Structure 1
């Protein structure tokens, strides 16, 4: 039996399915992923219901619910038969692969082998050179959707899957949709990723799909074409399709436009359908934070006592929604960053400090979140903890990320100001001289940088107890 199971294990690893796609999920990520998958099944009009049921089955297996996973796979099979009757066998390969893996984990070898045989027979029928593996754009697309759903760390791989599928069928509506959504999400992490044209193409190939229209609307707004974007938003809102999803992205559009009350109204409607959505609570927190900024701007940052009470109430609302989002999704780095900043607003400095530390330990994969975290933690150290050492440490982290950004420039100015303050107190401050040399070097002032570095080196050489080093 041992030799047979070893042979079966080798066969299982040749399959293309959720068990072999490297979907490494932490326990604390599972509830949010399952919730989002169930939301998609209930509220998103899609032609890939079989695929999303496959992912749900995988999540249930990871939770130790193998019988429930098998039931979900049966539902996936039925959906594939209805949605893709003309390609049912080929489209079922992922489902059969998942069946084989679940039965293998349950120790039910005969059933596992039966599904391996189904895969093998279909691969033979479709003239695949591999016994258990089929190369096809549909399989690439299925893998892309799974990766896309499992979080930002998989977006690049998802994009590659959809690109591979599109290379075979450039005008396929489903492949185009997957690529456009992935490019859209990646564009917020990496500005070099172009998403406008993929989104336009996806809308052209999927004219009835409201979800892709609201994503195009957001991208148009980002590039200053808000009027055209609003046309797509209104078109999507007038359609009953995928309304919960339309509301969440339309609310984002109106918040960015400055119509915060309209955004809150749309989010409230969406929350009636999915009250535990981390995404929706995060968006609601952003809306109330926008209201907070509107009040501060209207009162020239000096709210009256009555306004102050209103401000305090809104701060509590923002904190509530961000905290709720993090309860649902503990790895939600953007929400944790914004919560830390809001704790500072509420003068709860202990919680702010804990949140910043937790965020930096989390090591978010989005470079911009990391930049923001170090910059705002640096500000917190400088202005609320009176720690020059802490502030310098975190501003340096920002400037050492070489990509040009607004916060990098602000960090350089903050470092320069702190260095000058040190030198005003003591013209022979070693750290102050080193820091000024470093800032001058970054600004391209090489001669000035050399002067500061030479003074620092001279000082260090003459000091017996020097323990400090330049940045």
Structure 2
């Protein structure tokens, strides 16, 4: 009717609706905040601080799918991890489908322990529903975890110390790369404290120790022995050829290659079609100098898992090794050389395309171009990786050393080589590449100085090298000598003064 107002549109009613809406939003915010507090108490992939910047999600996804294909007994933790990778790729519906598969595997493999074995899966469910803003379903899964934990122990709020959860976290951390190896080792240690004879926990611990050893050797940390841990893992699980291969590689490193090869041969008999073992076996033979055998094994593994980044990298290294051997011959056949270059380049490019954070592959690719005298392409690859901002300190040191080596031996530019060796030294983290840079730049400068071709700049630069290496007395002598030749050089004078003051203090 004209002149009347609908009930819901009166000022009083509008005010009521506005207040009601505010109250609803306030209650929703409170509910969401309390939900987040509960979620953070869960033990699952979302609370294990796994950062996607440390991995290539596509490569990791392919690795997990290959693992499920060849090692179905670990499908529960693989589907759990795959759901988290799906989430990181903004595919929450796919994540839910993989959690469903994890649930089905739990019912099949652990029908008498469904609640205990589902805690991580339910935790992931809760987080994914939370991110999908399906808060009621998220709360349902939080409640399932909390109620199960109360039945399993006196612990509340989803926190429970179960060895299989420590182990699942440990294996997940190993998948996310070297930044997580120490944490992975700690997880397996915690699991072994509860079940010291568990073969899976022992294998995880040995694997973490092996990876940490390799990391420490490359990065300059403390190298902890892992032989005993590997031997223990093989003893507890003689069917696991992956850890058997790691033991063989460690024995090879300790100059016990014949002993190690027996494990490789045994593994080839037990699992001739298991790609992970084949990769390690090929690595063993490449290091032994049997490159053709390594290539044969890798080709077989690649047929089984054609998207494996690691297999492509290993094949690239094999072809580059054959290329370098051929180059040492008196009259290397150019057609064969070119073929090997193309093969190595193909595999290294594949690695970079599939996993852009696989930084050593950039140097491998550029180095292969350099061997083939394709210097412009090598320079392009080096510049590409030099301008990245996501390299770890030791990765950056490796790139600086390799680029310095490229400038010294391929471009014949000693000045650029010295510059990049010193850039490597300016990064103080001890590493294999830093040690190599130090030796290379010292040799270059000393040869120049001792031949009589060196000037004050070369002597001052040698002083800087000594200073960066902590050799203060040697640095002082160099700066004094440089100042004798160039008395008004403020850079040398300041460096000398600082060094003398640091010694006195």
TM-score (norm 1): 0.89
One of 125, 128, 131 as aligned partner of 1:99: 125
Shift in Å, 1:392: 1.6
Q: CA deviation at 1:248?
A: 1.4
- Return closer, same or farther for 1:336/1:8 CA change in 2, 3 Å cut-off: same
Secondary structure of the residue aligned to 1:208 is coil
Once the two structures are superposed, the pairs formed by residues 352-371 of structure 1 within 5 Å of their partners are 352-360=378-386, 361-362=388-389, 364-365=391-392, 367=394, 369-371=395-397
Q: Please say if 1:414 is aligned against 2:441.
A: yes
Residue 52 (structure 2) aligns with = 25
CA separation in 2, counterparts of 1:115 and 1:409? 54
Q: Which residue of 1 aligns with 2:279?
A: 248
Change (3 A) 1:8 1:296: same
Match of residue 435 from structure 1: 461
Structure 1 range deviating more: 128-137 or 353-362: 353-362
Q: Of 86, 100, 104, which residue of structure 2 is paired with 1:78?
A: 104
Partner of 1:303: 331
Kindly indicate whether residue 73 of structure 2 is the aligned counterpart of residue 42 of structure 1: no
Q: Does 1:375 align with 2:375?
A: no
1:419·1:435 contact (CA, 8 Å) conserved in 2?
Answer: no
Larger radius of gyration: 2
Preserved contact between residue 44 and residue 245 of structure 1 (Cα < 8 Å)? no
> Aligned partners of 1:157 and 1:68: how far apart in 2?
28
Q: Is residue 285–residue 293 contact of structure 2 (8 Å, CA) maintained in 1?
A: yes
Tell me the equivalent position of 1:312.
338
* Structure 2 counterparts to residues 131-170 of structure 1, below 5 A: 131-170=157-196
Helix, strand or coil at the partner of 2:161: coil
Residue 388 of structure 1 contacts residue 418 of structure 1 at CA under 8 Å; is this kept in 2? no
The 3 A distance-change label for structure 1 pair 242 and 108 is farther
SS in 2 for 1:189: helix
How many residues matched?
Answer: 463
RMSD: 2.9
| TM-score (normalizing by structure 2) | 0.84
Q: 1:468 to 1:275 in 2, by over 3 A?
A: farther
Q: In the alignment, what sits opposite 1:290?
A: 321
Partner-residue secondary structure (3-state), 1:85: coil
Corresponding residue of 2:357: 331
Matched residue SS, 1:48: helix
How far is 1:92 from its partner? 0.8
Query: Is the Cα contact below 8 Å between 1:17 and 1:97 reproduced in 2?
Result: yes
- Displacement of 1:386 in angstroms is 4.5
Q: Is 1:62 aligned with 2:88?
A: yes
Whole-angstrom distance in 2 between the partners of 1:469 and 1:440: 12
Cα distance, 1:112 vs structure 2: 1.1
The 3 A distance-change label for structure 1 pair 226 and 133 is: same
Gaps of at least 5 residues in structure 1 are none
Following the alignment from structure 1 to structure 2, what is the Cα–Cα distance between the partners of residues 20 and 324?
A: 33
- Contact 2:462/2:475, CA 8 A, preserved across alignment: yes
Distance in 1 between residues matched to 2:370 and 2:172, nearest whole Å: 38
Query: Which of 203, 214, 221 is residue 252 of structure 2 equivalent to?
Result: 221
Alpha-carbon distance between aligned partners in 2 of 1:199 and 1:425, rounded to the nearest angstrom: 54
Unpaired runs of 5+ residues, structure 2, are 1-27, 218-222, 500-505
- Residue deviations 1:185-209 (CA, integer Å, cap 9, x gap): 2211113132211111111111211
